[in-house]
């Protein structure tokens, strides 16, 4: 199968069959991202995708889920045909998912997304990162809160599940509150089935790293990350939503021991218990704030693996 670099997929798709429909990212300018830097975006042909699907069973063996890669494959005019062929060849699949950009979903609209749903697509993974317009612009996300809201409306009308990703620390040390409040506003309007937290790691080679080196972006401290998550959860008013910190970047460390591994739970049922956990963690760690370590501290120390 045609992968010329490690395939990227959400942690929740770790056991999924990976079908590559596009190569790289058509935007590829997000300030925090290094995934596709130096890789030109390319659309794979329907024949190439079908050939990979034919080969996938031998490569992966029987699986119940499949993920369409790389970034933003829904912009392919024949992606519905590819999904339908995947379902035809692997009728045992119970879920087919894909990354998607908000601008692409908003442009496709509910009618075209409904056709993708009918072809066999079930869930969309969308990087919201922030609902704060200023933070989105600073991250060079290439989308506004309005794009995410229109994308979510279209997805809901089509019957597609929506998984939104929030970049904890995306506003840096100075804008964490606006970032949290804006993200909650957009989440409440988008009504996703999943909200997944990813803590920003300012990686070498990213545009954001250059800004940080020049003093134009200050990485949020570990305690700030906790307060930001608390502010986000306080303002989230969604139902039937799973909040998940399903990534190692969410871990905080003290003397090489994990002292915080994120928050997980159903909303609104478990909201208060999540907040209780956050507040007790903040109280417990305030006294050792100066020695608390987050993912950026580990990255700076050379622990790149897994971040």
How confident is the model over 257-275, as pLDDT tens digits? Answer: 999 999 999 999 999 999 9
What is the pTM for the complete model shown? 0.94
Give residue 270's pLDDT: 98
* pLDDT the model gives residue 37: 83
CATH of the structural domain 11-300, one choice from 3.40.309.10, 2.60.40.1180, 3.80.30.20, 3.30.930.10: 3.80.30.20
- Domain extents for the chain? 11-300
Please give the Cα distance from 187 to 165 (Å, whole number). 10
Q: What pLDDT score was predicted for residue 302?
A: 78
Task: Tell me: pLDDT of 103 over 90.
Answer: yes
Residue 22 near residue 42 (C-beta atoms within 8 A): yes
- Our CA dihedral for 295, 197, 135, 125, rounded to 10 degrees, sits at 130
Q: Are 40 and 70 in contact (CB under 8 A)?
A: no
Instruction: Give the residue ranges of DSSP H helices in 95-219.
Output: 102-119, 133-138, 145-158, 176-190, 207-213
pLDDT score of 57: 86
Q: Let me know the angle formed at the C-alpha of 187 by 185 and 193, rounded to the nearest 5 degrees.
A: 160
What are the DSSP E strand ranges found in the chain?
17-20, 22-23, 42-43, 65-69, 95-99, 123-129, 161-168, 194-199, 241-244, 252-254, 257-260, 265-267
Please tell me the distance from the alpha carbon of residue 43 to that of residue 98, in angstroms, as a whole number: 15
Say what percent of the chain tops pLDDT 90.
89
Would you state the pLDDT for residue 226?
A: 98
Name which residue leads in pLDDT, 300 or 85.
85
- Pairing assessment for the beta strands 161-168 and 194-199 based on DSSP bridges: parallel
DSSP letter at 44 equals: P
pLDDT tens-place string over residues 218-260:
999 999 999 999 999 999 999 999 999 999 999 999 998 999 9
Helices 222-235 and 176-190 sit at what angle, rounded to 10 degrees? 30
Quick one: pLDDT at residue 72?
93
Is the per-residue pLDDT at 288 higher than 80? yes
Tell me the C-alpha distance between 32 and 37, whole Å. 11
Determine how many CB atoms are found less than 10 A away from the CB of residue 215: 7
pLDDT-derived band at 6 (thresholds 50, 70, 90) equals low
Neighbours of 164 (CB within 10 A): 26
Q: Which of 166, 231, 161 is nearest to 195 (CA)?
A: 166
Rounded mean pLDDT, 284-298: 94
Q: What is the pLDDT of residues 129-144, one digit of tens each?
A: 999 999 999 999 999 9
- If one compares 77 and 2, the residue with the highest pLDDT of the two is 77
Please state the length of the chain: 307
Of the candidates 61, 121, 72, 80, the residue with the CA atom closest to the CA atom of residue 100: 72
pLDDT number for residue 184 = 98
Query: What pLDDT, in 10s, does the model give residues 21-59?
Result: 999 999 999 999 998 888 889 999 999 999 999 999 888
Pairing of strands 65-69, 17-20: parallel
- The end-to-end CA distance of the chain, in Å, is 26
Closest CA to 191 of 239, 143, 150: 239
| Percent of the residues in the chain that have a pLDDT greater than 70, as a whole number | 96
pLDDT at 5 over 60: no
């Amino acid at each position: 199968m045609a992968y010329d670099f490690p395939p990227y997929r959400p942690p929740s798709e770790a056991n999924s069959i990976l079908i590559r429909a596009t190569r790289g990212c058509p935007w590829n300018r997000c300030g925090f991202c290094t995934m596709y830097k130096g890789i030109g975006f390319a659309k794979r042909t329907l024949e190439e995708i079908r050939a990979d699907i034919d080969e996938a069973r031998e490569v992966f063996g029987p699986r119940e889920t499949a993920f369409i890669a790389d970034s933003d494959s829904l912009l392919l005019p024949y992606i519905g045909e590819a999904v339908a062929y995947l379902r035809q060849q692997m009728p045992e699949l119970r879920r087919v998912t894909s990354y998607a950009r908000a601008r692409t979903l908003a442009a496709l609209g509910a009618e075209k997304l409904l056709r993708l749903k009918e072809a066999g697509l079930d869930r969309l993974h969308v990087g919201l990162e922030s609902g704060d317009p200023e933070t989105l612009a600073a991250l060079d996300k290439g989308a506004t809160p309005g794009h995410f809201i229109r994308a979510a409306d279209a997805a809901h009308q089509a019957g597609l599940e929506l998984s939104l990703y929030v970049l904890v620390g995306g506003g840096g040390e100075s804008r964490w509150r606006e970032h949290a409040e804006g993200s909650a506003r957009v989440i409440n309007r988008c009504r996703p089935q999943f909200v997944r937290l990813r803590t920003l790691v300012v990686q070498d080679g990213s545009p954001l790293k250059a800004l940080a080196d020049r003093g134009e972006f200050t990485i949020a401290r570990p305690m700030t990350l906790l307060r930001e998550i608390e502010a986000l959860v306080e303002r989230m008013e969604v139902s039937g939503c799973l909040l998940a910190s399903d990534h190692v970047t969410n871990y905080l460390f003290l003397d090489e021991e994990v002292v915080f591994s994120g928050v997980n739970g159903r909303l609104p049922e478990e909201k208060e218990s999540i907040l209780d956990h956050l507040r007790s963690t903040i109280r417990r760690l305030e006294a050792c704030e100066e020695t608390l370590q987050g993912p950026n501290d580990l990255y700076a120390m050379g622990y790149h693996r897994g971040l």
